[in-house]
Amino acid sequence: MSTTVKPYQEMQSGKREQVELMFNNISPKYDLLNKVLSLGIDKIWRKKSLNLLKSNQPKVILDVATGTADLAIEAAGRLKPASIIGIDIAEEMLQIGREKIRAKKLDQIITLQRGDSEKINFPDNTFDAVVVSFGVRNFEHLEIGLGEIYRVLKPGGNIMVLEFSKPQKAPFKQVYQFYFKNILPVIGKLVSKDTAAYTYLPDSVNAFPDGKAFCSILEKLGFGIEHYKPFTFGVCTAYVGKK
């Protein structure tokens, strides 16, 4: 499962430490690579996934594994909440996020702070919504992180998870797998100069419980499933659960 797939297999350290190191390493190229490798579609996925929360009008939002804050920035415009807090373990990703927030004059709404999904530094029942894009796959202990999200959500509040999934239908499945396993790691390595990061990406997606398996985990932790929506032939999926 996801706990066994680590970015730097040859290192002894745990997944959390390696993930932090990897995202700090690739942080200067992270946004560029997202755009190039997804052909710009990542922005559309974030928009569509946030639209699933629109009717709930969440006022106080937590963005877990916020990285360079793209989801938080999109949520500020799309959901018009009173405040968004973004947390992430990789400080250098957060630094880039803070610059983007300042440039967009969103610093009255969005605040970023260093924090771990497995020990969220907020009291029970704090947030109307918790959102995570392309983050849960990287948690060292998936269920601990999701359990923490449940704890900090208000009763009736929503979790929205956007994560890569595995396309099922031929011929797109085969074409995509070829791209994901053979082309994406080469471009990722050339641009980021990190030998492991873009091999870890397809490996971690393969090991991740997507679709119905992920819904079952959410249900086991107490969430009711409100939406389960694959995008772009199932390249990624948005899941919305309710506490």
Ligand X SMILES: C[S@@+](CC[C@H](N)C(=O)[O-])C[C@H]1O[C@@H](n2cnc3c(N)ncnc32)[C@H](O)[C@@H]1O
Residues that bind ligand X (CB under 6 A): 16, 19-20, 23, 64-67, 70-71, 87-90, 93, 116-118, 133-135, 138-139, 145
Tell me how far apart the alpha carbons of residues 119 and 238 are, in angstroms, rounded to a whole number.
Answer: 24
In the three-class reduction of DSSP (H, G, I as helix; E, B as strand; rest coil), residue 68 is classed as coil
Q: Which is nearer to ligand X, 72 or 218 (CB)?
A: 72
Structure tokens belonging to residue 37: 């490798």
Minimum CB separation of residue 122 from ligand X in Å reads: 13
Q: How far is the CB of 115 from ligand X (least distance, A)?
A: 6
DSSP H or E run through 129: strand 127-133
Residue 88, strand partner residues: 114
**Which residue is nearest to ligand X, using beta carbons?**
67
Nearer to ligand X, 93 or 196 (CB): 93
- In angstroms, give the least distance from the CB of 226 to ligand X: 21
C-beta separation of 72 from 97 below 8 A: yes
Question: Which lies closer to ligand X via its Cβ, residue 88 or residue 194?
Answer: 88
CB of 86 to ligand X, least distance (A): 8
Q: CA distances (Å), 51 to each of 5, 34, 36, 75, 141, in order?
A: 31, 21, 24, 9, 28
